[in-house]
Amino acid sequence: MPPSPTTAVAAFRITKGFGSGAARTMALKGADFTAALGELQLIVGPSGCGKTTLLSIIAGTLVPDEGKVLVLGEELTQMSKGRVTDFRRRNIGFIFQQFNLIPTLTLVENASVPLLLNGVPRSKAERAANAMLEQVGLAGRGQNYPRQLSGGQQQRVAIARALVHDPRLVICDEPTSALDRETGHSVMGLLKEVARKADRSVIVVTHDPRVYDFADRIAEMEDGRVLTNQLASPETLHALHG
């Protein structure tokens, strides 16, 4: 079936292996995945089932061995490396499982990076970064360095950095893992607000049951494949909560 205009991501028969010979691991074994615009999509599944690998392929930071990936109507798997990088800078916000803040930059500088990469002048980028830091509850901390923050605060800087350039696709790997209940809730509220816009999409990998209720749709992965990808209904949520 061709992707419809409401499709944000469509990935077909994705395979990806790491290493060679006897040490080779197949992280993805023919995974199919779709995410819609205007939705917050969860990906759940056991550790090692391929969630981060799939996210990295959708974000264009990892190239699959086989399969086809369409993001916002463009076929990533047909683009040159340079075009993928450019496409990612403009359209994708990524929250990494390890927050990947740059230790030698202040928080406001860290959160400005996506705008600077898109050619926004520094003063304007830093104004926007400060406003985003305020939204994640870190007002006034812009001149601190990552090492001066707790894990949960660093995670919130990573979230500010992922949203600062107003990307159409936001990809989050365990965005609430280091957050307490209240902060986790407010971060998910922020992501949900993005996903409510008709031309945006948010994909969240999580092990955190507190996040399930924010989902519009839930994909379940196991052993390198996507088993189900269903609208979040009282039944699917109940099954997940066990």
The footprint of ligand ATP on this chain (CB under 6 A) covers a number of residues equal to 12
- β partners of residue 16: 28
Q: If binding is defined by CB under 5 A, does position 52 make contact with Mg ion?
A: yes
* Residue with the two structure tokens 């990524």: 94
**Residue 140: how many CB atoms within 10 A of its CB?**
9
Nearer to ligand ATP, 61 or 144 (CB): 61
Q: Which of 34, 51, 154, 226 binds ligand ATP (CB under 6 A)?
A: 51
| CA within 13 Å, CB half, 99 | 26
Nearer to Mg ion, 51 or 161 (CB): 51
Q: Which of 4, 6, 18, 78 binds ligand ATP (CB under 6 A)?
A: 18
What secondary structure letter does DSSP report for 46? -
* Residues in region 159-218 near Mg ion by CB under 5 A: none
Nearer to ligand ATP, 19 or 242 (CB): 19
The contact mask relative to ligand ATP for 79-118 (x = CB under 6 A, - = no) is ------------------x---------------------
Q: What is the DSSP string of 191-222?
A: HHHHHHSTT-EEEEE---GGGGGG-SEEEEEE
Nearer to Mg ion, 109 or 174 (CB): 174
H helix intervals, the chain:
51-58, 81-91, 107-117, 122-135, 151-163, 181-196, 234-241
Q: Which of 5, 20, 47, 241 binds ligand ATP (CB under 6 A)?
A: 47
Sheet of 66-71: strands edge to edge? Answer: 25-36, 7-18, 66-71, 74-75
* Binding site residues, ligand ATP, CB under 6 A: 18-19, 25, 27, 47-53, 97
